[in-house]
Amino acid sequence: MQSGSWFLLVNPAIALTLSAAFLALRIALSQHRYLGAMSLAYLLYSIGFLTIQLFPGLFHVGANAVFVAGMLCLCAGLTGRYGMSPRWSLLAPVGLAIVISGLVFSFTKPGRGHELLFVNVMFGAMFLITAWDVRHAAWRRLADKVVLVCMVFAGLQYLPRTLLTTVGAPDGGPAFLESTYWIVTNFSGAVIALALAVSVIVAAVADLVEGTAEPSVDRSTGLHTRRSFERAMKAAESAMEPGVSHSLILVDVDRVKSINERFGHVVGDAVIANFSALLHSRTPNGAVAARLAGVEFAMLLANCNIDTAAGHAETIRQQFALTRHDILVGRSATASFGVAEWRQGQTAAATMARASKALTLAKAAGRNRVSVLRHGEAGDLLANDDAPQVTTAALRRA
């Protein structure tokens, strides 16, 4: 077997093994959703290398497209570990540029070196964008510092490696698979893939050992725990950028104590469970919903303006208020919502306090309503003329 072919078999084997390892961890640690994205990323890397091995003619477009998909999954997994979403506004265009470049270079044929340089720089940029986004959240513990260092090294090595090895690289065929560039790429790719995967796995295991992430999701409701939600808030605070606003919703299910006294605690627990299920089903992609304690719930909506968040809270409020609970003998239950805007310069604790104040206003105004605190407001009940899509009138009880 030729040396280039041998390296091409090593990479898929390593990637498949790591994909299986992440999948096993995802099954064992069901609350760690980011492990599923990591598993898929390494599976796609394996497919990409095999595509080049089996179908060399698809190098420009087919393999590039698979590698881009794998990189996007990897970025989703790495940011997901810290309760964040990838910066799709940058990553998606970069990935699309890589795929389009394959088409362009396949027709113009300016030389393999130009294509390799462009593609490698773009892949390095995707690594560095993701590392930049998680830098604060990842710099809190030794295990996550190692993950961040691996990400930065992976991004930085693309350019010098490509410049040093693409001189005189053949345009394709068996000669390309035997080139210095391809042998070095496969070897360094295997080392980096292994180092990054091991660092993430060690960090996940450290979560369990330290008890900082187990459990992050309540299995009975599908909602995050208070501790998990606090980590998501800290991550969002670290990643806050100028011009970007988040929204925080706090919720109390109304008068559960009265329900307990009249119908019993089993009924009160059932009402809370019904609201938990509704909140979970109404949580948008990228948002984090949690049960903080007892009748208290929260939802963090990243990159979401306050009007959208208030409208979302109102939708949940209306649906819950209109739901007839069999366990309440056909009666309905209600919930009160406080919505606060979160911009750069505000701490997570300050935003939580403002959302709590908005919730207090909603309860003081009669419950079963949405109260909004915009950035810079002193604390008025704003869910009226300033936000006409949000009603503050309590629904009539049937």
Whether the per-residue pLDDT at 13 is higher than 80: the answer is yes
Whether the per-residue pLDDT at 57 is higher than 70: the answer is no
Specify the pLDDT at position 381: 41
Specify the pLDDT at position 393: 34
Q: Tokens 């299920």 label which residue?
A: 277
| Average confidence score pLDDT of the chain | 80
Whether the per-residue pLDDT at 340 is higher than 60: the answer is yes
What's the whole-model pTM score? 0.55
Of the two residues 396 and 269, the one the predictor is more confident about is 269
Rounded Cα distance between 373 and 262, Å, is 34
Whether the per-residue pLDDT at 368 is higher than 70: the answer is yes
Query: 70-115 pLDDT, tens per residue?
Result: 999 999 999 888 877 788 889 999 999 988 887 776 666 545 667 7
> What percent of the chain is modeled with pLDDT above 90?
31
Specify the pLDDT at position 2: 47
Residue 284: pLDDT band (50, 70, 90) is confident
Specify the pLDDT at position 301: 92
Specify the pLDDT at position 1: 43
Rounded Cα distance between 183 and 3, Å, is 8
Query: 28-45 pLDDT, tens per residue?
Result: 877 688 999 999 999 998
Residue 392: pLDDT band (50, 70, 90) is very low
Specify the pLDDT at position 17: 93
The amino acid at residue 272 is: I
Mean pLDDT of 273-298: 89
Dmax over CA atoms of the chain, in Å, equals 83
Specify the pLDDT at position 101: 82
- Which residues fall within 8 angstroms of residue 27, CB to CB, at 6 or more apart? none
Listed as own residue / partner, the contacts of 288-293 with beta carbons closer than 8 Å and 24 or more positions apart are: 288/83, 288/224, 288/228, 288/229, 288/232, 289/223, 289/224, 290/223, 290/224, 290/225, 290/226, 290/228, 290/229, 291/218, 291/221, 291/223, 291/224, 291/225, 291/226, 292/226, 292/229, 293/226
Of the two residues 174 and 338, the one the predictor is more confident about is 338
Tokens at residue 44, please? 């796609």
> Contact at 8 Å (CB) between 368 and 334?
yes
Residue 361: pLDDT band (50, 70, 90) is very high
Query: 166-191 pLDDT, tens per residue?
Result: 655 555 555 656 667 667 777 787 88
